[in-house]
Amino acid sequence: MIRLLKSNSKIIGHILLLILLISGQVSAQSPNDWVNPFIGTTNYGTTNPGAVVPRGMVSVVPFNVTGNSELNEHDKDAGWWSTPYSWDNNYFTGYSHVNLSGVGCPELGVILLMPTTGDVNANVSEYGSEMSEQVAHPGYYSTYLNKYNIKTEVSATKRTGISRFTFPAGKSNILLDLGNGLTNESGASVRIVNNQEIEGWRMTGTFCYNDGTERPVYFVARFNKAADSFGAWKKMPKMNAEAAWSATSNKFKYYENFQAEMSGDSIGTWFTFNTIANEEIIVEVGISYVSIDNARLNLNHESNNFDFEVTRKNAEKEWNDALSNITVKGGTDDQKTVFYTGLYHIQIHPNILNDVNGQYPAMESFETLIHPNGERYTVFSLWDTYRNLHPFLSLVYPQQQLNVVQSMIEMYDESGWLPRWELNSTETHVMEGDPAIPVIVDTWFRGIRDFDIEKAYEAMRKSATTPGVDNKLRPDIDHYISQGYVPLMSQFDNSVSHALEYYIADWNLAQLAKELGNEEDYTRFLKQSRGYKNYFCQDFQIIRPKLKDGTFLPGFNPRQGENFEPSPGFHEGNAYQYTFCAHHDMEGMIELNGGKKAFAKKLQAIFDDGHFDMANEPDIHYPWLFNYIKGEEWRTQKELNHLMATYFKNAPDGLPGNDDTGTMSTWIVYSMMGFYPVLPGDMNYAIASPVFDEVTIKLDQNFYPGEKIIIRNTGSGDKIKAIKFNGKTSKSYFINHNELVKGGVIEIIH
């Protein structure tokens, strides 16, 4: 268990851990004990310490980003804000029950359960409390509310959250606020069913401030004790002249004993209990994206009848089971904590969308479908995750990756298109490219094939070939196909970023076409994938946006685009961060950049001159690219050692930036193990120096012939001297996935 206090989180964390180890409360061998859910909760990591189970639909997150309180450093209304929790904030306003972890856009963060005492107050700027004594552990979170002297604890099942509030004596309230939240969508409806149950829904949507992704989330909240009194509230609209006669214009209006449907922009309910000192009130909340009935079904099915400890223990067991797929030896406590917290973050998204009866809302539709088997996943941040998270799932959690691909193909079935950034069965159209292709192709090549490859191929081919602006994944496909690149058409379009994604997708599609015996497609898509060369500017020796007439963008500054400033042609980056993104054609890219020596020099300069950005995805494969130049592999080891030590820490600021639904966490987990799938669709893992003495990856016998992979790190040199696989020295710094999954030992000798 990791406790973090702000004064000196790391030290206190270790002291507490020591105490816990001594007291025997937890086993030192439990991977859960090496998870610090506070990692990434500041420095734009956008993770949160809330309670969740692996791939749970529900997470119960301490919400502390509203209220304009002096206790908060950040307020969601004061700027772009994308997380329900900030380590820097101390003004707690409730537990939100549906949340996103590690994303760069605001969404969800709703269905807020807030305990208070005394008179009911629905104003979030007034009812919030200073929080302290935060404790987070996989499947468990607790904080103390100073203002009210209430201890709060939460845990979760896949589709429910459970809260245990320990109240002082007196009038104790539990508010259910449906007005506030992280999402910028609004509107909710609620009905107090009886003095122990509340049902309703809350509208969500506007991910990345976009419209068009709206869907209600339904809930049923159940209390272990009957409320002594209850009611609903609504913030009333501001009246004009009529305000002279109304007591509630622009104010919160309280509807005591209200039991009909209540709807509005800013509504909520309160349950009040006359509590004795230290009385615990427990609330369970079931969630569904289909209906209130399903939320109740989920609650009935997953509830442990208000037994908080059982729910918590089950959640902890789920986590320990999931995290036990990899065991490590050696490394510091902090390294272990960074590693297992990474593994923990990888298990949050994608998450399940279907209810216990299999029902889920169809993609881009309000139809309800029933999942045939397995789990329907949601939250696909594919522009991020295609790079490493899906290859990782294929290796360590192949059943989950199969669920991913099956879910993606279902999305195509339902909406006509594969997803790019899918959220709760809506395509948010965030970021660019055609990342479903490398995900599916990579999965296939890794040997996970229990899906309809013909339909998948049809789906991928559709986005790769459908002409016109109605191509949902490649809206600029016409130029891309006719000119071989996407020309810059407006000042800050992301034309180059688009094209670079299409090249990688097309290379993947070509590989699959070949595998499936479609030589024509192979040739076509492989040729298209080479188009990246169009962007190479000899003058600048770097890629450069190109206009429709074939000339390069004038007034070019390759640095422009740093720090998320707008840049012509590039999305969230600059020319440096995108210039080595044709790693599907390493030979071609090396040649284009002047041969091996020049390439290595230019690549090294990216790091040396401060152009490398650890905080965003486009260049995160860069450190591994030295492995492609014989004799330069030590640079990969060196840069990785530096990056791991600099950007990944056992601390709230321990992620370099948005975790991107586990992408950054996957990067650090792979890097700490000493290998990385540089190019999705390419089965070669690049090898570098593990931070641990030994890493053991359990293989799923349903998918792979081997039982486990052991990576053994020996010797004491700075650089790798030799790599052996099952005793045989490897000639290269790569090892093939399909060899690896037969099981065995990689020995990395320093």
5-13, 211-219, 503-511, 600-608 -> range binding a second copy (CB under 8 A): 211-219
Query: Which of 71, 236, 453, 749 is the binder for a second copy (CB under 8 A)?
Result: 236
| Closest CB 247 distance from a second copy, rounded Å | 6
Is residue 750 near a second copy by the rule CB under 8 A?
no
Pairing of β 140-145 and β 150-156: antiparallel
Rank residues 233 and 576 by Cβ distance to a second copy and give the closer one. Answer: 233
Site string for a second copy, 99-128 (x = CB under 8 A): -------x----------------------
Is residue 189 near a second copy by the rule CB under 8 A?
yes
Q: Rounded distance, CA 90 to CA 63, Å?
A: 10
| Closest CB 380 distance from a second copy, rounded Å | 21
Tokens for 165, please give them.
């509030």
Site for a second copy in 549-588 (CB under 8 A): none
Is residue 424 near a second copy by the rule CB under 8 A?
no
Contacting residues for 578 by C-beta, under 8 A, at least 6 apart: 496, 497, 500, 543, 570, 618, 619
The DSSP annotation for 19-41 comes to: HHHHHTSS-TT-GGGG--TTTTS
Query: Which of 259, 399, 604, 641 is the binder for a second copy (CB under 8 A)?
Result: 259
Q: Cα-flanking dihedrals φ and ψ of residue 632, to 5°?
A: -105, 5
Rank residues 7 and 240 by Cβ distance to a second copy and give the closer one. Answer: 240
Query: Which of 7, 23, 119, 260 is the binder for a second copy (CB under 8 A)?
Result: 260
Residue in the block written with tokens 């986590």: 319
Is residue 30 near a second copy by the rule CB under 8 A?
no
Q: Rounded distance, CA 447 to CA 436, Å?
A: 17
Is residue 183 near a second copy by the rule CB under 8 A?
no
**Omega into 350 within 30° of 0, i.e. cis?**
yes
Which amino acid does the sequence have at 219? F
Q: Where does residue 428 rank: exposed (0-12), middle (13-18), buried (19+ CB within 10 A)?
A: buried
| Closest CB 109 distance from a second copy, rounded Å | 13
The strand ranges marked E within 138-187 are: 140-145, 150-156, 160-167, 170-177
Rank residues 81 and 503 by Cβ distance to a second copy and give the closer one. Answer: 81
* 204 sits in which H/E element: strand 197-204
Is residue 264 near a second copy by the rule CB under 8 A?
yes
Is residue 241 near a second copy by the rule CB under 8 A?
yes
251-259, 318-326, 573-581, 735-743 -> range binding a second copy (CB under 8 A): 251-259
Is residue 209 near a second copy by the rule CB under 8 A?
yes
Site for a second copy in 357-376 (CB under 8 A): 366
Residue in the block written with tokens 């615990």: 280
Q: Is 506 helix (H, G, I), strand (E, B) or coil?
A: helix
| Closest CB 184 distance from a second copy, rounded Å | 6
264-272, 685-693, 695-703, 705-713 -> range binding a second copy (CB under 8 A): 264-272
Q: Rounded distance, CA 322 to CA 643, Å?
A: 27
Is residue 492 near a second copy by the rule CB under 8 A?
no
Query: Which of 561, 562, 530, 529 lies closest to 545, judged by CA?
Result: 561
Rank residues 47 and 189 by Cβ distance to a second copy and give the closer one. Answer: 189
Query: Which of 36, 184, 636, 637 is the binder for a second copy (CB under 8 A)?
Result: 184
87-95, 242-250, 274-282, 391-399 -> range binding a second copy (CB under 8 A): 242-250
Query: Which of 381, 680, 664, 626 lies closest to 504, judged by CA?
Result: 680
Q: Rounded distance, CA 226 to CA 273, Å?
A: 8
| Closest CB 65 distance from a second copy, rounded Å | 12
Residue in the block written with tokens 């909240």: 221
Is residue 57 near a second copy by the rule CB under 8 A?
no
Q: Report whether 154 contacts 142 (CB < 8 A).
A: yes
159-167, 213-221, 580-588, 623-631 -> range binding a second copy (CB under 8 A): 213-221
Query: Which of 228, 261, 321, 707 is the binder for a second copy (CB under 8 A)?
Result: 261
**First CA to last CA distance, the chain:** 34
Pairing of β 215-223 and β 197-204: antiparallel
Is residue 224 near a second copy by the rule CB under 8 A?
no
Rank residues 245 and 717 by Cβ distance to a second copy and give the closer one. Answer: 245
Is residue 197 near a second copy by the rule CB under 8 A?
no
129-137, 210-218, 299-307, 646-654 -> range binding a second copy (CB under 8 A): 210-218
Q: How many CB atoms lie within 10 A of CB 151?
A: 18
Site for a second copy in 267-296 (CB under 8 A): 267
Q: Cα-flanking dihedrals φ and ψ of residue 10, to 5°?
A: -65, -50
Query: Which of 268, 123, 127, 125 lies closest to 187, judged by CA?
Result: 268
Query: Which of 503, 482, 384, 391 lies closest to 441, judged by CA?
Result: 391
Query: Which of 206, 406, 567, 671 is the binder for a second copy (CB under 8 A)?
Result: 206
Binding site for a second copy (CB under 8 A): 76-81, 106, 184, 186-189, 201, 203, 206, 208-209, 211-212, 214-216, 234, 236-237, 239-242, 245-248, 253, 255, 258-267, 366
